[in-house]
Amino acid sequence: MDRTGKIILVASVLLLLGAPVLQQMLGPKREPMPDPALEQNATTETNTPPVIGPAPEENGTATPETATNNPTASTNAAPVTPSSPAVPEPVVKETTATLENEFVKFTFTSRGGGVKKVELKQFPKEIGEEVANAGPVEMNLDRGRLPLMAFEPRTASTVDTNPTADRPYPAAGSVYDLTHTHSNVVMTATFGDWNVRKVFTMAADYQLQTQVTVSNSSTNSLSEADFYLLTGTAIEPLNTSQMMGLNFGTMWFDGDEETKVDQGWFDNKPLGCMCMPGGDPRNNYEAGQGNVEWLGAYSRFFLQAVIPTEPGSAVSVHEFRLNPLSDTEAVAAGKKVKNNQMAWETAMSIKVPSLAPGTEKTFSYTLYTGPREYDRLKAIGAANGGNQFHLLMDFGKWFGWVAEGLLRLMKWMEPHLGFLKSLKISSWALSIIVITLVIKLIFWPITAKSTRAMKKMAQVNAKMMPEITKIREKYKNDYQKMNMKMMETYQKYGVNPLSQIGGCLPMVIQIPVFFGFFTMLRSAVELRGSEFLWAADLSAPDTIAEIAGFPINILPLLMTGTMFLQMKLQPAAPNMDPTQQAIMKYMPLMFVFFFYSASSGLCLYWTVQNVLSIIQTKMTKVDPDEDNKVEVIPPGKKPKTT
C-alpha cells in the first residue's frame, strides 16, 4: 500500500471512531421541554403545598376539579379526578421515617408517599474505603424524581409519546399522612372517593414488602380506575466517557420473555442505529396486558425493581430531564458533571376494579433495591414462582449463557485465590487470569495446529509470493484473469487458499468467550473495588494519573502492545492483499480507542490472553521433516494441500 492509501486508511478509521462524537456535536439536538412537574416540585419545597390531583397543565399550574359521586360518570380506564379545594392549602411540612436492617436503610417521605432514599450499608461510596469511613452507597430519589412506591392516579385516558409529553401521572407527588411504628411505616391519602393506605414492612436483605389497599369511601359504587405505582429510576451516568459505565436501562418480564427499554427506543433512530441522523424521538413507553411479572430500572451495579403478587396491568417508562445539580452535589460528584442529565422513570399500571360502597382491594408488592448479584436475584425469582428475576443482570440472549458460566466459575474460584492479596492482587483478578489460562489450555491443540499450518504456509509463501506479485501487476486490470492465474500458482505449489480460513478458527471459537467476559464484567458488582497491582478497581479504568485532564490508563496500552507483538509473530496468509495486511497491522490502534475507557478487568483478560498467545506461537515449532519441505509440484501430479 502506498503513502496515499495509508493516509486514506487512517483517515477512514478516525472518521469511523469519531462519527458518534461528530453526530452529537453537529447533528440535530434533542431538546425536550422542561417537565412542568420539575418546576412545581421546586415550588412545593419552598412555599407552595403539593397538589393532590391531576397533573399540572402546560403552564405549570394545576386545574382544580370536583370529584363526582355519580357512578355512571366514570368509564373503564378513565383518569381519576380527585377533588381539590378552590383555595390553596397551607404549606404541608414533610414527614419522614426510616426502616432498616443490616443490609439497607430506607427513608420514607410523606411527599409522594414512598421511599426517598435508600442506603446500601455494605457498599462504600469510595472505592478502597470502609463503609464506616466513606459512608454507604445511596440511591437518592431527588432532582424531580418521584419516590419509590409512590401511588398516583392516571391523569389521561391515553399516553402521549411525543418528545415533550408529560408523565401520565401527577409528577408533583401527592401528600400522604405518615405514621411510624417500630416494624412498619403506614401512609394514607385520599383521591376523590378513593382512599389509599400503604403499609411498608422490612423483609429479607434488600427487600421491602408493601401492601396497597384501595377502598371506596363514598355511598355510591365506583367504576374501575387506573393508578400508577412508581418502581424505579434509571439515570444516565454523570461521566459518559467511561464506556463500561453506560450499562443502565429498564426491563420488564411478561411471564415468557424479558423486554428491555433503553435509549434506542426513546431516540427512535432510523434502522435502530444511534449514529444515524434523524429519527422521531419518543419519551413515553407503555406496554403490557395484565401480564407484568416484574418491572425494574438498573444502573451498572445496582437495581430498583418491583415484583407484584398478582401481575400488573401495564408498564410505563417516562423519559425526562432531571433538575440541575446544586453546587454541593457537583463538587460531591468529583467528575465531569452534566447538568442536562436524562432519567427514565418506571411505573407499573394498576387497574383498580369497580368497588361497592365500603369495600376495598389490596395489592401486594416486593420492592428490591440493592446490588445486581446473580445468585441473589436467582433466589428471589425462585421464591416468587420462578419469574426469571435474574434476567435483570442483562447478560443478553446470544452470549448470556457464557457470561453466566464465567461468573459462576469466578465465584467458585475466588475463595481459594486470596493468597496474593498482600501484593494488591485480589482473588477476583487471579480468577480472571486463571480462567484465561484454562480457556487457552482448552483451545491449545486447535490453536497450535492452526499456528503450525500458518508457519508452513509462510515457508511456501517465501517461494510463491514473487510469482503472485508479478501476476497482480500484470493482470491488475483484469480481475478474472488475475484470479485464474493465481489459482494456477496455488496449485503449482500445493496450496489450498481455503485452508487459510483455519487460521481464524481459534479466534472465531473464542469470540463467545470474549463477549461473555465483556457482558459479565460490565455488571459484576463483585469486581467493584477489587485490586490488581496499580489498578485500584477492576470495574473501572486503571487511571494512574492525568495530563491536562487526559487520563493515563496502563492496561489498555499494554493490551495494544501485546496485540502488535502477537500480530507481528503471526505469519500473513499468502492470498492476503496489501490493503488487508495494512488493516490487520493497524487494527490494534482501533482497539485502544474502543477500550481505553473500558474496565481494567476486561483489559486484564485480553492482555493475559495476548501474552499466552505469544508464548504459544513461540513454543509451536515446525518440524523440518519431508512434509514441510517446500517444493514445486510437477505438472500432472496431484498437489498435496497444506
Contact 579, 5 (CB under 8 A): yes
What's residue 124's pLDDT?
83
Looking at per-residue pLDDT, the higher value among 258 and 518 belongs to 258
Find all residues with CB under 8 Å of 180, minimum gap 6, and list them.
Answer: 97, 108, 186
CATH of the domain at 360: 2.70.98.90
Q: Is the pLDDT of residue 600 over 60?
A: yes
Based on the fold, state whether residues 350 and 442 are members of the same structural domain: no
| pLDDT recorded at residue 16 | 47
Q: Which domain holds residue 477?
A: 412-624
25 belongs to a structural domain: no
For residues 442 and 366, state if they share a domain.
no
Q: Count of CB atoms within 10 A of residue 485's CB?
A: 18
Average pLDDT over residues 211-228: 92
Q: pLDDT tens for residues 381-396?
A: 999 988 999 999 988 8
Same domain? For 519 and 378 the reply is: no
pLDDT score, position 102 = 93
Q: Indicate the pLDDT class of residue 40, thresholds 50, 70 and 90.
A: very low
Over the stretch 347-402, which tens digit does the pLDDT of each residue have? 999 999 999 999 999 999 999 999 999 999 999 999 998 899 999 998 887 788 88
Q: Are residues 259 and 363 in the same domain?
A: yes
Least confident of 251-265, 308-322, 501-515, 606-620: 501-515
Do residues 521 and 558 both lie within one domain? yes
Separation between Cα atoms, residue 594 and residue 76, nearest integer Å: 52
pLDDT at 83: 45
- Shared-domain flag, residues 469 and 384: no
Read off the pLDDT of residues 475-498 as tens digits, 9 standing for 90 and up: 878 888 888 888 887 777 766 665
Position 51 confidence tier, pLDDT thresholds 50, 70, 90: very low
Asked if residue 130 is part of any domain, the answer here is yes
The answer, yes or no, to whether residue 9 has pLDDT greater than 50, is no
Whether 168 maps to a domain, the answer reads: yes
Does position 442 have pLDDT exceeding 60, yes or no?
A: yes
pLDDT tens digits for range 277-299: 778 888 899 999 999 999 999 98
Whether residue 418 sits in one domain with residue 366: no
Domain count, the chain: 2
**Is the CB of residue 439 less than 8 Å from the CB of residue 510?**
yes
Residues 375 and 417 in one domain: no
Regarding whether 374 and 506 lie in a shared domain, the answer is: no
**Host H or E run for residue 105:** strand 104-109
- 162-166, 438-442, 460-464, 589-593: least confident range: 460-464
Q: Has residue 13 been placed in a domain?
A: no
pLDDT of residue 45: 37
Confidence of residue 317 (pLDDT cuts 50, 70, 90): very high
Q: Residue 199's pLDDT is what?
A: 96
**Interval 104-111 mean pLDDT:** 94
pLDDT value at 406 more than 60: yes
- Residue 526: inside a domain: yes
Among 388, 421, 451, which residue terminates a domain? 388
Residue 35 has pLDDT above 90, yes or no: no
- 292 in the same domain as 166: yes
* pLDDT > 90 fraction of the chain, expressed in percent and rounded: 29
Q: What is the pLDDT of residue 523?
A: 80
- pLDDT higher than 90, residue 206: yes
Report whether pLDDT(22) > 70: no
Higher pLDDT, 98 or 444: 98
Give the mean pLDDT of 316-326: 89
How far CA 163 is from CA of 61, 155, 265, 283, 320, in Å, comes to 21, 18, 12, 5, 9
pLDDT at 334 over 60: yes
| Amino acid type, 557 | L
From 20-29, 239-248, 278-287, the region with the lowest mean pLDDT: 20-29
Same domain for 308 and 256, yes or no, is: yes
Residue-averaged pLDDT of the chain:
77
DSSP label of 504: G
In this model, does residue 68 exceed pLDDT 60? no
pTM of the model: 0.76
384 lies in the same domain as 417: no
In a domain, 22, yes or no: no
Contact indicator for 345, 230 with CB cutoff of 8 Å: yes
DSSP 530-599: --BTTBS-TTS--EEEEETTEEEEHHHHHHHHHHHHHHHHSPPPTT--HHHHHHHHHHHHHHHHHHTTS-
